[in-house]
A and B are shown apart, each in its own frame.
Chain A
Amino acid sequence: MSSKVVIVDYGLGNIFSINQACKHVGLDSTITSDPKHILNADALILPGVGAFGDAMNSLRENNLIEPILDFVKTGKPFLGICLGMQLLFTESEEFGEHKGLNLVPGKIVRFPEFNSNSKVVRVPQIQWNQIYKNDPLVWNSSPLIDIEEGTYMHFVHSYYAIPQSNDNILSYSEYEGVRYASAVAKDNIVGVQFHPEKSADQGLKIYRNWSNYIKNKVYRLC
């Protein structure tokens, strides 16, 4: 039986391409904003582009916060993408302070205006950027398992994550001299700042590995 993946629809983000990527790797994915479906899912994806505060408000208005937190407690696989990764954190400084889902301790901050050479930093970062291993053990027990260090992924963001614990950093990247967490992992939670569904074959590999994990509860090379 195929696993049911629910993509949380709260009005933000290009969920179409996430859905396409899921189907491409054989996942039975559904886009929904119905809290009932969330708890019944085998795995959950929290997408998102846009502003942190608006996203949290939208989750709240759609009564999605409790179901998401309850789902994470079940230990079933959870994937946050882009803003969906940032929402996992304790708080963000985007347009004033905002509280997040607090599933991963840490905060979201903005890229600086200038780099160390006093040159203007272009924000948002819109580019293919490389991801690096923080801890090989964490990497190998994540959907990045067969991704080579230094692989290029597609990033679009103005803010970045600083996890409180080094243990939660799955990969890091650098932009304009700033090193930031480009993927995070904690128990059943994986969060990626980049868009794997927009990162060509290497990004699809991540979906494939995550799909295997949903079915087998273990990351292994296929």
Chain B
Amino acid sequence: MELGRILNRKQPRTNQKSIVGNVRIIPRLDIKGPNLVKGIHLEGLRVLGKPEYFAKYYYENGADELIFQDVVASLYERNSLHEIISRTAREIYIPLTVGGGLRTLDDIKEVLRAGADKVSLNTAAIKNPQIIKDASRKFGSSTIVIAIEAIKQPDGEYFAFIDNGREETGIEVVKWAEQVEEFGAGEILITSVDREGTGEGFDIELIKKISSAVKIPVIAHGGAADPCNIKKAIIEGGADALAIASIFHYASMTKILSGSKSKEEGNMSFLQSGRKFGIIEHSDIKKVKTLLKENSIPCRPI
């Protein structure tokens, strides 16, 4: 067999020029202390339950990877995050990315030792870009994901924010994306803080700006809900992977909590009140992958 030669295969002529490989669907779990939480615009967190239950549920239901984000980060309860990671890593056999409050190479090493496969860096990378070079050299590029939290400015430009969208940096996101690629990042996780938790749809313009500026894979995050928009994030935005939280969490909550022994762990009173989470439609991984398949977007089938 001849290897390495670029096969001159006729590619089907479609408008899907942006799709490189099998799109990954990545449930994102925001963690505060021992709990899975979810907010809107990264704020106003609501406790949903134990992250381990959700992680296992997503693993068994076709998730391609998982992202854990410690949203309080850095200051306290770091040990509880390590415990969650190592408990989860014993049960799930798909890649696990962990982010939030990682400042030093030692911090990174610790979460990798606890069972993470990749780490995502935002604040630390902006304050000290050298850490991208050092970390990708030490742990391998593919271990280092740079998270960019973008907020659209009145003039249409996007600026990177740190500290869960609270602090402005004045750094333009496309320039920053190009820089982190040059410094050795293996992947970019681009969050639209404007859309995050709202279910208003991915910011296609933002995703496209980033994905066309770099050659490393881009994970789109923030706003997933409407099926047509999910499709657009890939075909028009050029996303290689989608990180999705709200629509998955809300759909799986009832199933997960009814199966767990300690009912008080989740926000049962909220659930029992029968209220809906705003405009957000519930969905699951299977529905999203079926949608992709129907639109000839390749992904790993469930």
Contacts and interface: CB of A to CB of B under 8 A. Distances in A.
A122 B21 contact: yes
A126 B186 contact: yes
Interface stretch (A48-56, A63-71, A84-92, A213-221): A48-56
Give the most central of A17, A154, A179: most B CB within 10 Å. A17
Nearest to A16: B115
B2 A127 contact: no
B76 interface: no
Given A51-B140, A128-B300, A116 B6 contact: yes
B3 A172 contact: yes
A20 B90 contact: yes
Contacts, number: 142
B141 interface: yes
B139 interface: yes
A110 B241 CA distance: 22
A38 interface: no
B64 interface: yes
B112 A14 contact: yes
A179 B20 contact: no
A119 interface: yes
Contacts of A200: 59, 93-94
A158 B141 contact: yes
Contacts of B215: 113, 120-123
Contact of B115 (A20, A125, A128): A20
A162 interface: yes
Interface string A1-45: 000000000001110110011001000000000000000000000
A140 interface: no
Nearest to A174: B7
B142 interface: yes
Contacts of B22: 127-129, 152
Nearest to A152: B300
Contact of B216 (A21, A122, A198): A122
B146 to A, nearest CB: 14
Nearest to A181: B3
A62 interface: no
Contact of B21 (A16, A112, A125, A203): A125
Interface string B191-218: 0000000000000000000000001110
Interface of A: 12-14, 16-17, 20-21, 24, 49-51, 54, 83, 109, 112-113, 115-117, 119-129, 134, 152, 154, 156-158, 160-163, 166, 169, 172, 174-181, 195, 197-201, 203-204
30 contacts: A14-B116, A16-B115, A17-B89, A17-B93, A17-B115, A20-B90, A50-B143, A116-B6, A122-B21, A122-B216, A124-B186, A124-B216, A126-B217, A128-B24, A152-B300, A156-B95, A161-B3, A169-B1, A172-B3, A177-B8, A177-B9, A178-B5, A179-B7, A181-B3, A195-B95, A198-B94, A199-B93, A200-B59, A200-B93, A203-B93
Given A50-B138, A125-B21, 17 more contacts: A13-B140, A14-B115, A116-B7, A116-B8, A116-B11, A119-B17, A122-B20, A127-B217, A128-B22, A129-B21, A129-B22, A161-B3, A162-B4, A172-B1, A178-B4, A179-B4, A179-B7
